[in-house]
Amino acid sequence: MADQIDITPRLAEYVREVSLREDDILRELREETAGLPAGVAMQVLAEEGQFLALLAGLVNARSVLEIGTFTGYSTLCLARALPTGGRVVTCDITDRWPSIGADYWERAGVADRIDLRVGDARETLAKLLAEEGPDGFDLVFIDADKVGYPWYYELSLPLVRPGGLIVVDNTLFFGRVADPAAQDPDTKAIRELNTRLHTDERVDVSMLAAADGITLLRRRP
């Protein structure tokens, strides 16, 4: 039986050569983001953005919730995957970084599909539930501050429809989750969530050893 393959830099480049379909708008946004402090570490990989768009299409998403915008690369990928009239509600603690992505959203012709909510995401999610009720989103993407992950998951679960998908990024967190010596708050929060998801009967779960760890959760009907 084949084991997990080690992804060398050359193999990662090969995957991009034969799979990635990043156009000029996405590439320019990624390159501008890479020039920011911690920009490379905080931005999703280009191939992960493409994967998110594919997932949105597979669940026939019309309404997407994103927790953690940064400069909006993944936001743009998701918005492009939606049909006319679809929407991405994206949450960030500040409008400083999303303002960079806004120009690219306009250039791509999808700015009207993107609803940026600025503030504490826990408050934003509670407000969405109160205003719109449960089951209003087809897909949720969680990629924000890691300490908040357990709360973001619990708050977003009732917002996604039965049969809908929650995607959690960074669930391997640079490999630190498997290192007992790593006891920083971020790593501990992700470990807590990973352990909880393993036995959560409300969802079907699959953790992928791709990028920095991607966990897929289907809310059970």
Read off the tokens for 83: 């049909």
CATH topology of domain 9-219: Rossmann fold (3.40.50)
SS3 180: coil
* Single pTM value for the model: 0.95
Which among 92, 126, 218 has a CA at the least distance from the CA of 167? Answer: 218
Smallest CA-to-CA distance from 171 within 121, 220, 218, 211 is with 211
Condensed to tens digits (0 to 9), the pLDDT of residues 160-206 reads: 999 999 999 999 999 999 999 999 999 999 999 999 999 999 999 99
> How do residues 69-109 score in pLDDT, each as one tens digit?
999 999 999 999 999 999 999 999 999 999 999 999 999 99
Concatenating the DSSP letter of every residue in 87-147 gives EEEEEES-STTHHHHHHHHHHHT-GGGEEEEES-HHHHHHHHHHHH-SS-EEEEEE-S-GG
